[in-house]
């Protein structure tokens, strides 16, 4: 992935998202000084899988996709199903991948990347419950998988590792290590 000085990363929030997967990614990327846009797919206030309400920065339909340098999808059910239905998001994923910019997904959300047609022949991981949905991919049970500009991860238990991989991809290993130490992860 090409390194860009100022990153603008989209994290879409759909009803039923997984809390930890979304918020940890937002938190650590912001610690790395990326501009992270929390965008509600259908509303500014979005309820998670366990009814935690999050107030987003904007609506997905109002995001200027031309300014984005990456997208990170939290999983969760029915959050992933709701992300899958969003054509605006699908177009953003395809466009960012074509530009070799960051595309990340955790838990069940890699299925959204698969449905967008960007995973063929790539190494990928996901939550075990959706592992059989990646025909034509090089499926791995590794906790975090990086394949070029695409980063995938297994679930809530890998959220910090996933977010640190995102940070390393956006900045460098030293920055990711410094953040890991600051949050007592190393």
Residues annotated as part of the active site: 21, 107, 127
Q: Return the C-alpha torsion angle 27, 57, 109, 142, nearest 10.
A: -10
Integer Cα distance of 45 and 39 in angstroms:
10
Report the half-sphere exposure of 160 (CA within 13 A, side-chain side).
10
Strand partners, 70: 9, 102
Q: In this structure, which long-range contacts are made by residues 174-177, counting pairs with CB atoms below 8 Å and at least 24 apart in sequence?
A: 175/32, 176/32
Strand partners, 37: 10
């Amino acid at each position: 992935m090409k390194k860009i000085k100022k990153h603008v990363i989209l994290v879409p929030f759909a009803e039923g998202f997984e809390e930890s997967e979304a918020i940890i990614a937002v938190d650590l990327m912001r610690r790395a000084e990326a501009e992270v846009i929390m965008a509600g797919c259908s509303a500014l206030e979005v309820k998670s899988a366990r009814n935690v309400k999050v107030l987003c920065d904007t609506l997905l339909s109002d995001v200027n996709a031309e300014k984005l340098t990456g997208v990170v999808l939290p999983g969760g059910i029915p959050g992933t199903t709701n992300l899958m239905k969003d054509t605006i998001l699908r177009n953003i994923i395809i466009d960012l991948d074509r530009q070799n910019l960051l595309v990340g997904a955790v838990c069940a959300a890699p299925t959204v990347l698969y449905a967008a047609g960007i995973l063929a022949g790539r190494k990928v991981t996901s939550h075990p419950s959706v592992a059989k949905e990646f025909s034509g991919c090089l499926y791995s049970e590794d906790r975090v998988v990086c394949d070029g500009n695409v980063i995938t991860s297994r679930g809530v238990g890998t959220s910090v590792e996933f977010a640190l991989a995102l940070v390393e991809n956006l900045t460098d290993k030293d920055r990711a290590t410094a953040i890991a130490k600051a949050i007592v992860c190393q």
